[in-house]
A and B are shown apart, each in its own frame.
Chain A
Amino acid sequence: MSEGKIKLAIIPAASCGGCDVSLANLNEKLLKLTNFVDIVFWPTVADFKIEDLENLESIDIVLFIGSIRLKEHEEKLKLAREKAKILVAYGACACFGGIFSLGNLFDPEELLEHVYLSNELITTDNTEEEIPGQKFEIDGLDLSITPLTDLARPLNDFVKVDVYAPGCPPREIVLDMLIEVISDYIQTRQTPEIPLVLAKDTPLCNSCSRIKPKKISIDKFRRIGHEPIQQDLCFLAQGIICLGPITRDGCRLPCIKANMPCRGCFGPTLDIIDPGAKFASAFAPLFKLDEEKTLSDEELIKVVEEIDDPIGYAYRFTLGISLLKRIIREIKEGRKE
């Protein structure tokens, strides 16, 4: 600990570790940063316990990584908010629920049963049939594993977030902006008044250089890997799902340049209430646009229904901020009850 340095904590919750790697990828910049910043908590790289966090009087900046999937994550988040001057939702999971929120397609009990009790996963070795959330004691010590929350949720379902750093994981350009936020804080010691989003408000399509036809008519839905993808033509015009129209710009298009469609890890643009529904609104009408007057209603519905896994595509990183999470599921495992 040295005088004058600000305190930074990096707290992971439900995350894959990719966000931590993206921070480590800062290389020399990370070293330079440590001239001004003391990293007081980062369990991914060194042995920290939750008590280390509790013992700190205050923290200047917290980078919170991952979504909230366990009761323990929720407690950590509340602790972080209590201590932090600036709480940064770092990565798509913290901002929008991320990949983990696709688990909201199942109830917690279904997830636990599948992972811990069914024999479908070869890695499961659980003869005593113990699952998280059950009471578990050894020699009078409570070793119960923390239970799952009802849904995988983004941070702003629980606390106020000051800075959103989107991406899966956040790209270098986002990190550069984050470092700017940190250096602003070092100079002014002010928390941003309104939440900052380290991305543009405009959609990705604005900076995509692929040819966009004036009128797009899709003959059928295509999946990646089944047919060759044209290098210079808009993905939507090829019948491939690309979330460019609903996703924030600011990533410098690494996926598009690698001939892969946008998955939406920067989250929805400002005016969108529900990202997947908005995408459905934009994408569905393109099917058979040229032939719609000659086809029957049933034929048109059939063409659109060929899209498999529409939620997986349209809400890849954003099911945690969808309106759907406010509706309680009534059909389980495809069976109507």
Chain B
Amino acid sequence: MEDGESNWEPLIVAFLCRWCASAGADLAGVSRLEYPPNITSITVPCSGRVDPQLILLTFVNGADGVLIGGCHTPADCHYIAGNFKALKRFALIRKMLEQYGINPERVRLEWISATEAQKFVEVARDFTEKIRKLGPLRRREK
């Protein structure tokens, strides 16, 4: 990473829930809305499935930012309360990252419904710019 810092592009992994955020991202694609190619999206059954271990693994394996997209609180979750689990885990892992000395802004949680293609695009753009400002996340071999 360090050698080519001038050509560095942020790598963001987005875990999007199947029912809302991922459908929103699909709609953005179908509607031909443009968003930065820095976002790699992975569809998961529910945002409540995104274990904080998964967030750390994503960072360790090369991501500079992690976006979690779920259904709006309080009532949109397909599994009733998965988004609340995501929200509370997000709050705790952010605090842990900050305590360890990693900028907590590298993790972001957004509620994006299946119709909110525009919101997904705005979040993608904004988050990419924020991570670009923060710079690359540096790692050790072991």
Contacts and interface: CB of A to CB of B under 8 A. Distances in A.
Given A105-B99, A293-B74, A280 B52 contact: yes
B103 A274 contact: no
B88 A310 contact: no
Given A150-B140, A293-B75, A324 B91 contact: no
Interface in A265-281: 272-274, 276-278, 280-281
B53 A274 contact: yes
27 contacts: A105-B100, A105-B101, A273-B56, A273-B57, A274-B53, A280-B52, A280-B89, A280-B92, A281-B52, A284-B85, A284-B88, A284-B89, A292-B74, A293-B75, A300-B84, A300-B88, A301-B88, A301-B90, A304-B91, A311-B96, A327-B59, A327-B60, A328-B137, A330-B101, A330-B103, A330-B137, A331-B102
Interface in B65-121: 73-75, 81, 84-85, 87-93, 95-96, 98-103
A68 to B, nearest CB: 12
B31 to A, nearest CB: 27
Contacts of A292: 74, 81, 84
Interface in A309-337: 309-311, 314, 322-332, 336
B142 A326 contact: yes
Contacts of B134: 330
A256 B12 CA distance: 42
Nearest to A328: B138
B96 to A, nearest CB: 5
A61 to B, nearest CB: 26
B43 to A, nearest CB: 20
In order of increasing CB-CB distance, the 9 nearest A-B pairs are A329-B101, A277-B52, A304-B91, A328-B138, A284-B88, A323-B56, A284-B92, A301-B91, A285-B85
A307 interface: yes
A324 B84 contact: no
Q: Which of B57, B92, B99, B140 counts the most A-chain CB atoms under 10 A from its CB?
A: B92
Contacts of A307: 92, 95
A11 to B, nearest CB: 22
B139 interface: yes
Contacts of B59: 323, 327
Interface string A122-139: 000000000000000000
Nearest to A302: B91
Given A292-B84, A310-B96, A331 B53 contact: no
A158 to B, nearest CB: 9
B51 interface: yes
Contacts of B103: 330-331, 336
A278 to B, nearest CB: 6
Interface of B: 48, 51-53, 55-57, 59-60, 73-75, 81, 84-85, 87-93, 95-96, 98-103, 134, 137-142
B53 A285 contact: no
B91 A305 contact: yes
Interface in A222-278: 272-274, 276-278
Given A277-B56, A305-B92, A325-B140, 6 more contacts: A272-B53, A304-B88, A304-B91, A310-B96, A323-B60, A327-B140
A327 B85 contact: no
B84 to A, nearest CB: 4
B84 A326 contact: no
B100 A329 contact: yes
A103 to B, nearest CB: 12
Contacts of A280: 52, 89, 92-93, 96
B89 to A, nearest CB: 5
Contacts of B55: 277
B141 to A, nearest CB: 8
